[in-house]
Copies of this chain bind each other. A is one copy, B any other.
Amino acid sequence: MMAPTARSVETRERILAVAAEEFADRGYAGTSIGGIAERAGVGKGLVQYHFKAKVDIAVTLVQSTFAQAPFANVVTVDPPPRGVAAIVASIRAVSRAFRDNVRVRAAVRLVREYDIIPVVFPTPYVGWMAVMAQCLRDATDAGDIPPGLDFETEGWHLVATFTGVQETSQRLTQREDLPERIEEMLQRQLRLLGVIDPQRFL
């Protein structure tokens, strides 16, 4: 294959953007190379020049969204927050990404449909759980949470609770009430973790 030209990179990105819309709207089974080509306004052959099969597009989308720094990459404030502030910022940012970023929506839907897709996706959740556990450790060191928490267990439950809130809001309101449900969840979780003066962080 020749070195990619600017135009070829642009076409590949355009195919990925359109494929994300298709996967997010129709799921894996409902998406086809032909449908992607049509929506992108290019020939099927051009899509297949960039991606041999539908599964390759799915893998590229999931990996570019999740693999490198699971969910941590959505917090773009500099310097990055730490401790409780980082927990709040990452939960809010991930929930915004679920609503506003079609690539994230596509990746999440594809990962949810893993059992019908012939490929092994990166395991979801575990990266973010580890980040959460570290934030809780930092928060305890900073004196924002009293000592005594089991950081791994609390990190597990933070991510599981977010997952349930996200899934329930998606199912019942197509994520329309997600921002409000996330704030309710944050209030409850900070209270549960024993965060001292939680309103500082909300």
Contact = CB atoms under 8 A, between A and B. Distances in A.
Interface in A185-202: 185, 188, 191-192
Interface stretch (A83-91, A92-100, A133-141, A161-169): A161-169
Contact of A192 (B125, B160, B171, B192): B192
A153 interface: yes
Contact of A116 (B27, B166, B185, B188): B27
Interface string A136-166: 0000000000000000010011011111111
A27 B168 contact: no
A125 B172 contact: yes
Nearest to A123: B172
B156 A168 contact: yes
A107 to B, nearest CB: 15
Contacts of A157: 165, 181, 184-185, 188
A126 interface: yes
Contact of A160 (B26, B30, B125, B164): B164
Contacts of A169: 160
Contacts of A116: 27, 29-30, 116
A163 B156 contact: no
Contacts of A30: 115-116
Given A116-B29, A153-B184, A165 B172 contact: no
A175 to B, nearest CB: 13
Given A27-B115, A29-B29, A29-B116, A159 B168 contact: yes
Given A159-B168, A160-B161, 9 more contacts: A29-B29, A29-B116, A126-B172, A156-B168, A156-B181, A160-B165, A161-B165, A163-B168, A164-B166
